[in-house]
Structure 1
């Protein structure tokens, strides 16, 4: 008999791919406040902020995979981060206790470490800089408190992915790849800064790996596809995938930041949001790396290299003819 697994918040980018990878091996159910485009037959509408809307759906479940989160940078009011990410987690755990569900896998984020840290591993001190990171860390604390109340019987896995990209995603990595592929791309700075990235196909395989190897205990993992690429190497990967040379134009860092400030002023005057800002320029030029030794020293093997992952995304988004226009928006 297949084990029963309820995914909470799986109608989006990561959840859709996770259902695709697990539905043949597990008895999967999805609970989300939005209907799933691809899996409506196994999706029930419910909001983790409303205990009564999902409590009964945990009856008879073996494991919860909690994906639901407020994660965009522009969420208003900011209290939503805490209502969903923290109180929502409490509500899920309360329902698990009432329905005697003892296993949970939770997707957190490397945002708990904060900005400009030097390759933090899972034991690095946390220093979240925004409401998303703060609320994810608070949710982790709620989960650890739940686990330690009965560690002899409970299983808790926390996975902290770096920025996730892949087919159908509309986020910062997609926007960057689109600009590079268009040939209308200006590199700000020398391009030698490195970025940790994670391909959605590998992330969901790691979640499935943990689901298949559940045991009593508590574990936390960073998820990053290694080795990290510099911005120059990323451009080279796009060139290789498209089979063409991308025009090379480097803009000095100082000019790039000044341009970003200019757009900041325009945004305040006009009330409009622009794709360029001083903060985004600084983030683009920063080295953002995270240690994932624990993940890759386990028996898990990522099915795709980072080079293959970028190529799969480039080919799907910018080369092949699409069968539909379904996309998922994230940061």
Structure 2
């Protein structure tokens, strides 16, 4: 019987166990540049089989929240390098999540006060985090078809920067109703032409991005994150037929040879089986995908162990438990109690509530 604590190889990346630290936005970069404190934060959590570093914007226009890091400039690459070195020195593996927020942004965060860009010009019903705190997002501008190759090129460039910064790979963020999912869902994507209308057209941008990233750094170092049933932050309704949409997406991803697929089940940060959500067959998608299958969303210790033992998933990602428990792998192994999360220290600030959570005593 396979254990949550057994090693596994995903694509080109060997892992010491199947416990993943999920990407967690903490808003502790400065001007888009990672800070030295982040090296200690990630190194403390290097016992995870894999760390997926926090979502990081692929370009200046991709940013949606204050003090999130980027992965597109030489300065950012240089600042990430001590972080990846610290994780590797502690025996860990780390990939970075490539992020374009699309319309989930505010003009104050973008170059020259530009409007956010998306598949649509309809504003999202949600907020974002700025110097003035949480404020409603700005109205977006619909990208022209002839602008999309540059977006794909930004993902390619960010993936190359990630490897130069010492990451073991990348995870393309196509979940939580950010840019790539804004193209996927017919509830958001109201365009015509080659990137709108039919499922293959709406999936075109995501598939172009993943092919470009895989070509640049290798499919064995590339993962992708999906969230078929989330309406994260109240920013959008679901697609009219999520099973058909995500079934097609996974069918098209299968031949690419990706290292893993990171599936958020249910509502991000909420119910894994929402009562008002349509019935969704995650197992059918898992059967269609030949790479490693990672699940996420509020899994307990017992659920994580059973999910891997049953073969329903190869890896289980834990989010908030890793914030307050840098030694979460040991706590899961020993069934030890968790530290209390300080919710008021999640976003922004300094070391408090970031690198000062205690480890279990030896």
Superposition TM-score, scaled by structure 1 size: 0.33
Larger Rg: 1
Superposition TM-score, scaled by structure 2 size: 0.31
In proportion to residue count, which structure has more helix?
A: 1
